[in-house]
């Protein structure tokens, strides 16, 4: 938790865990590329399942930006082959791995994990099924709740400005456009031109708040905020998964709730706590 998976370097303990595992569950879609290389190289014959790819076989597509590219500003189309509403000739088009920001995708992921665990431990299949149903029910409730929360944001302020393009699935699910300094990976640094373009976008749209992320350096987005004369969110968005201990986003459901609260409060919506079961 709290580390950037796009640039994470595996440790010897990661290698050992993969070599000794009875089941290897990983994201896929080139998320955590260092871990994927280890999985591909292992001699362990145990099942290896790319959960994101199994759960969301038709992903949205995003641009992997190179070092000379500019920021981008788009609303996402539901057609996976046209995930951006403008042409980025320089950017390589790649599957966007951040599928979990749509809880409906999360429900599919839970089903994949339940199935895989049940196959390697059939004696516990009933418990896995009970746990999965409880979590899927909670995610369905959270999905409906997020819809109602985003709807309270004034239409002219309904835009997410972030460090990198990790909220595509959230954008598509809840009809809130995204503008970001970087593409779906954080490996390339934003350019001066990208900063200028994003600053102009913020001035044009009039959003009151732009958002930092818990796994990326906030310095550039804070510079953009000063240039555009807007505030930076008090709380970061947890875009790469749950946060660490004490973050208030320690689990997947808590992460979805925390991000929604930060977005709604930052963009002038009327936040109401998630009631749950």
The series of mean pLDDT values per 10 residues for the chain, 277 residues long, is: 61 92 96 91 95 98 56 41 38 89 99 98 99 98 98 95 90 94 61 84 89 84 90 94 92 98 97 88
Strands 231-232 and 209-210: parallel
Where are any strands of DSSP class E within the chain?
Answer: 24-26, 48-50, 61-64, 72-74, 92-95, 160-164, 178-182, 209-210, 231-232
Q: Which residues lie below 8 Å from residue 207, measured CB to CB, with a gap of 6+? A: 157, 159, 161, 230, 267
pLDDT at residue 185, rounded to an integer: 57
> Is 57 within 8 Å of 47 (Cβ atoms)?
no
Cα–Cα distance for residue pair 115/122, rounded to 1 Å = 10
CA 167 to chain centre: 5
Q: Where are the domains of the chain?
A: 12-58, 61-98+153-266, 103-148
pLDDT at residue 183, rounded to an integer: 63
> Is 174 within 8 Å of 147 (Cβ atoms)?
yes
pLDDT at residue 218, rounded to an integer: 82
As given in the structure block, the two tokens for residue 241 are 């998964």
CA 19 to chain centre: 28
> Is 210 within 8 Å of 233 (Cβ atoms)?
yes
> Is 236 within 8 Å of 246 (Cβ atoms)?
no
Q: Which residues lie below 8 Å from residue 243, measured CB to CB, with a gap of 6+? A: 1, 2, 214, 249, 250, 255, 258
Strands 72-74 and 178-182: antiparallel
CATH topology (fold) of 61-98+153-266:
Rossmann fold (3.40.50)
> Is 183 within 8 Å of 167 (Cβ atoms)?
no
Listed residue (40, 19, 20) closest to 28, CA to CA? 40
pTM of the predicted model as reported, rounded to 2 decimal places? 0.85
């Amino acid at each position: 938790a709290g580390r950037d998976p796009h640039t994470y370097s595996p440790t010897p303990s990661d290698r050992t865990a993969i070599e000794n595992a009875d089941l290897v569950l990983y994201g896929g879609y080139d998320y955590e590329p260092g871990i994927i290389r280890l999985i591909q190289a292992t001699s362990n014959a145990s099942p290896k399942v790319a959960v994101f790819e199994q759960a969301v076989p038709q992903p949205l597509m995003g641009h992997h930006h190179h070092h000379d590219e500019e920021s981008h500003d788009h609303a996402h189309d539901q057609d996976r082959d046209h995930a951006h509403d403008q042409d980025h000739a320089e950017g390589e088009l790649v599957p966007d791995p951040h599928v979990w920001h749509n809880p409906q995708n999360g429900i599919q992921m839970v089903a994949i994990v339940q199935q895989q665990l049940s196959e390697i431990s059939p004696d516990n299949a009933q418990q896995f099924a009970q746990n999965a149903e409880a979590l899927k029910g909670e995610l369905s409730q959270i999905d409906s709740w997020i819809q109602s929360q985003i709807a309270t944001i004034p239409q002219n302020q309904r835009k997410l400005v972030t460090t990198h393009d990790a909220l595509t699935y959230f954008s598509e699910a809840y009809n809130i456009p995204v503008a970001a300094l970087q593409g779906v990976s954080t490996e390339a640094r934003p350019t001066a031109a990208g900063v200028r373009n994003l600053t102009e976008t913020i001035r044009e749209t009039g959003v009151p708040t732009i958002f930092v992320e818990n796994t990326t350096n906030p310095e550039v987005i804070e510079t953009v905020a000063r240039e555009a004369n807007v505030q930076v969110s008090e709380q970061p968005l947890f875009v790469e998964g749950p946060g660490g201990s004490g973050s208030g986003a320690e689990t997947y459901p808590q992460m979805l709730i925390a991000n929604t609260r930060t977005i709604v409060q930052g963009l002038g919506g009327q936040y109401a706590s998630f009631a749950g079961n």
